[in-house]
Chains A and B, each alone.
Chain A
Amino acid sequence: MDKDLVIIGGGPAGLAAAIAAKEAGVSDLLILERDNKLGGILNQCIHNGFGLHTFKEELTGPEYAARFIDKALKLEIPYKLETMVIDISKDGEYKLVSYMNREEGLVVVRAKAVILCMGCRERSRGALNIPGYRPAGIYTAGTAQRYVNIEGRMPGKEVVILGSGDIGLIMARRMTFEGAKVKLVAELMPYSGGLKRNIAQCLNDFDIPLLLSHTVVDIKGKERVEAVVIAKVDENSKPVPGTEEEIKCDTLLLSCGLIPENELSNALGVVMNRVTGGPLVNESLETDIEGVFACGNVLHVHDLVDYVSEESAQAGKKAAEYLKAKEGKCSCSESGNKAEASIKINAVDGVRYTVPSVIRLSRMEDRQTVRFRVGAVYKKAAIQVLAGDKEIMNLKKAALAPGEMEQVILQKSVLEALPDLTEVTIRVKTD
């Protein structure tokens, strides 16, 4: 089977990318989704707080997803559910996408362009190296969320949560609503990894303590979790002897970070960013492999789905432009693009990474959003943008935190006005 564009994943990223591509004129496209529904993780995020940027109203996850699903259906975008992509490889200028499902078995699609929208997954207990037995009752927060919100089953009654990521905070309230006693949330870092408002409305509203600079050092119980031992940690995140405290509980939820799900990208040989765990991309959200784009949480973990939708629409639009450009020219003139002048974006002084990490001026839109995260908590700081040595932006920030994504918008006209520009630097400036 041949397709112009294959979109891997039918969550918020895949839906927004497909809609934008279709609206930009790509009609031969296909979404491949492994779940039995479109919408991805939004289906289990039944709390409100989505869509304030996109729709100017506060929606729940399933409502936000439904807006995009309805649009995709209206645009008659083809999709396959319960379909697992198992490999992507190169075949000359084409990409071979191998997928499996119950009806068709193994199918290989030859695509001109691919958008990677696989999302991310949670860091598991195995990845955290928590000592102790392996009893029942230990779940990632997202797994517990699926049990409660989709399957209508409660994972436990007395809960300790390790990690203060947003899913953990949301689940603290959710479990409380369903009658569980959430005893505490322990966070290894001296600051929370979640949004401030989730600490207010999910913990403070219900008097659930948040213990910063604490971790779980032991899990008790053989068949079922009976207790966990928490301890204070020092500035190197090492447990402080003598501070251990045993907390009786039957359930431990883990909300300790999200990891972009890039097995397919790695197998394809896409160059990755070691900080984000996602591909390195240019202004078009295109990876180092021509015609392979990436957006959403597979690219870098976002805090708000609104930004995922915005970013993914950009990827869809750029993939459409790529396909149009390919159509319009014979394959012999292909090499012309390679030597194009590009501007590297440096992330320094507290800025951990940027997406994109390189901009080709000729392909840049008039306004280019550059998203990034900082590595520590800053008060009364500024985000400074330098073009070469020249300051082109200085944005005052009352507070910056690793849990919240930041962005700057670069103007094409400003960059164009600086001849021989090869580097833009984004940094946190403190007084």
Chain B
Amino acid sequence: MTETKEFTCIRCPLGCNVVATLDDGKIVSITGNTCPRGAEYVTNELTDPRRIVTSLVKVTGGERSVVPVKTKTDIPKGKIFECLEELKKVTVSAPVTIGDVVLANVCDTGVDIVATANIE
């Protein structure tokens, strides 16, 4: 059975409308993408959707009480809320520098959580 699925690519601000044609769940064609990242994104969305997660963790002894963080690379979309729960348990102490690992291998994804701002 042939079906088509539409996606808005999130890899850059262009937001291409990418259409995947599937035959028995297998990708037959991908159209509408401006660059190869669009095809890669849609392939991932159909097999293993992933997102970069950005949030905050608590910080003590600093100019601010929270420091922004991100997953260093994308993690499975299904693990976003589990990852956020883990971040609630983390407290770091100032100073914090951009790139500092605040939590290694979050939720067994193999991906580290790193700080994205400097806190003095």
By a beta-carbon cutoff of 8 Å, the part of chain A in contact with chain B is 43, 46-49, 52, 58-60, 62-63, 66, 148-152, 177-178, 195-197, 199-201, 204-205, 303-304, 399, 404
Contact = CB atoms under 8 A, between A and B. Distances in A.
B84 interface: yes
B98 A205 contact: no
Given A60-B54, A66-B98, A149-B56, A49 B68 contact: no
Contacts of B10: 197, 200-201
Contact of A60 (B15, B68, B118): B68
Contacts of A201: 10, 51
A304 B52 CA distance: 19
Given A48-B54, A195-B13, A63 B98 contact: yes
A49 B10 CA distance: 9
Contacts of A46: 54-56, 68, 70, 116-117
A149 B118 CA distance: 14
A205 B64 contact: no
Given A150-B64, A152-B56, A197 B70 contact: no
Nearest to A200: B8
Given A46-B68, A149-B66, A52 B56 contact: no
Interface of B: 7-15, 17, 51-56, 58, 64-66, 68, 70, 77, 80, 84, 98, 116-118
A288 B61 CA distance: 49
A62 B98 contact: yes
20 contacts: A46-B55, A46-B56, A52-B12, A60-B70, A62-B68, A63-B117, A148-B56, A149-B68, A150-B64, A150-B66, A151-B64, A152-B56, A177-B55, A178-B55, A196-B15, A197-B10, A197-B12, A199-B8, A200-B7, A399-B17
Q: Output the residue of B7, B17, B54 with the most chain A CB within 10 A.
A: B54
A10 to B, nearest CB: 16
A149 B117 CA distance: 11
Contacts of B80: 177
Q: Output the residue of A148, A150, A177, A204 with the most chain B CB within 10 A.
A: A177
Nearest to A148: B56
A384 to B, nearest CB: 21
A22 to B, nearest CB: 22
Contacts of B12: 52, 197
Nearest to B77: A205
Contacts of A152: 56, 58, 64-66
A126 B116 CA distance: 35
A205 B51 contact: yes
Q: Output the residue of A46, A49, A66, A200 with the most chain B CB within 10 A.
A: A46
B116 A197 contact: no
A126 B20 CA distance: 45
8 closest A-B pairs by beta carbon, nearest first, are: A196-B15, A46-B68, A62-B117, A152-B66, A200-B8, A197-B15, A197-B10, A60-B116
A144 to B, nearest CB: 14
B66 A303 contact: no
A304 B13 contact: yes
Given A62-B117, A63-B116, A48 B8 contact: no
Contacts of A60: 54, 68, 70, 116
Contacts of A58: 52
A60 B117 CA distance: 9
A52 B66 CA distance: 26
A196 B70 contact: no
Nearest to A199: B8
B91 to A, nearest CB: 12
A151 B65 contact: yes
B81 to A, nearest CB: 8
Nearest to B55: A177
